[in-house]
Amino acid sequence: MSWNEPPDGNKNKDPWGKNGSNGGPPDLDEIVRRMQRGFGGIFGKKPSKGGGSIFPFSVVIILLIAWLVFDMTYLVDQQQRGVVLRFGKYVTTLDPGLNIRLPRPIEKVTKVNVGQVRSITHKASMLTQDENIVDVEVAVQWRIGTATDFLFNVFDPFPTLRQVTESAVREVIGKSELDFVLTEGRSEIAQKIQILIQDVLDDYESGIYISSVEMQPAKPPEEVKAAFDDAIKAREDEQRLVNEAEAYRNDIIPKARGAAARLREESNGYKARVIAKAEGEASRFEQLLIEYQRAPKVTRERLYLDAIESVFSNTNKVLIDNDNGNSLMYLPIDRLIDNNTNKKPSTSNSTFNNLLENQTPSSTNNLQNNLNSRLRGSR
């Protein structure tokens, strides 16, 4: 059975409800009319008897409504701002979220990404203050600060930013010396460039905010690179010697200060000791004066004995004064000590005994008494 054969086997009718007597294709006009009647039922209307249809009008209305909904609804991202223009005039700025505005051409919304960080680079050969040429490369990171100023105040913001950057870099480099640019001045130069670019853009009210400026290490031109390398090496050697000198100074100065402080303390101690000794001697003299006024004879004798003791305390010779005779006995103690170390003890004792035997009995007794008293420490 073919696809258009009825299930009851009647071949005179086709699936479209027509008699198959003609044997032609199905009537397309009839199909369209049936569809129009179906859509008319949806909107609660019936087709007119004259065969008219509202289907095209309904479709147009549906499409118009869908376009209005699409055109009036604006979804603004978190990093975006929507600038609303009504007949070309600025009205307001839309915040992030879902917003509904009038359709075009009445209002137009332009979305501006204010959170994206953009970057531009500038590289060129520039003249320094001391009339040297140096190759400088600068990277500037920026973003849109105010959407309305970015759109309306500057005709073309991107070339303007590039030109302002080049002008600022040339101005700062032109006011700096070559050594400063090549060595420690990179961060300071980058900061000055950022401030200068931001000031110019604020004067233009461009709505651009400079996030950061990074300056790459400056390089001399290739033609004079060898000479610059030699100069840099000499500068590094100079800095190394300066650091060594600073280290030596930091090492020797504290030592000298410590030695000076030690000498000052020693001198202060010596001063205090001398003063205290002088004051003690003065006090002892005053006390001695009082005792001398009380007993002059005893005091004079005591002073004499003290003086003799102090004189002979450092000598190894002994003089014995004999009260009963005119002879003065001398004992060579140094020789006795030497003989004592070189000979046996009996020899030294015999020598001493021989000396005693040569004396008279009275002088011997006096000598023995004086020695005994001398050994006991009495005067």
What's phi and psi for 81, nearest 5 deg? -135, 140
Contact in structure between 340 and 352 (CB atoms under 8 Å): no
Contact in structure between 86 and 92 (CB atoms under 8 Å): no
Contact in structure between 292 and 306 (CB atoms under 8 Å): no
pLDDT of residue 201: 93
Q: 3-class DSSP state for residue 97?
A: strand
Tokens linked to 151: 């759109």
Tokens linked to 333: 């103690």
Longest dimension (CA), the chain: 196
Evaluate if residue 112 carries a pLDDT over 70: yes
pLDDT of residue 6: 53
Domain ranges of the chain: 70-113, 118-219, 315-376
Rounded Cα gap, residues 27 and 21, in angstroms: 14
Query: b/e string for 221-241 if b means 16 or more Cβ within 10 A?
Result: eeeeeeebeeeeeeeeeeeee
May I ask the CATH class of domain 118-219? alpha beta
Maximum mean pLDDT: which of 34-48, 261-275, 284-298: 261-275
pLDDT in tens, 193-243: 999 999 999 999 999 999 999 988 888 877 777 877 787 788 889 989 999
Instruction: Identify which of 235, 226, 222 has the alpha carbon closest to the alpha carbon of residue 133.
Output: 222
pLDDT in tens, 273-332: 999 999 998 998 888 888 888 888 888 888 888 888 887 777 766 666 666 666 656 666
Which residue did the predictor score with more confidence, 335 or 162?
Answer: 162
Tell me the CA distances in angstroms from 238 to 213, 235, 243, 244, 247, one per residue in order: 31, 5, 9, 10, 14
pTM of the shown model: 0.47
Question: What pairs with residue 210 in β-bridges?
Answer: 142
pLDDT of residue 109: 85
Maximum mean pLDDT: which of 179-183, 329-333, 373-377: 179-183
Instruction: Identify which of 145, 136, 144 has the alpha carbon closest to the alpha carbon of residue 168.
Output: 136
Instruction: Identify which of 120, 119, 76, 78 has the alpha carbon closest to the alpha carbon of residue 98.
Output: 76
Evaluate if residue 271 carries a pLDDT over 60: yes
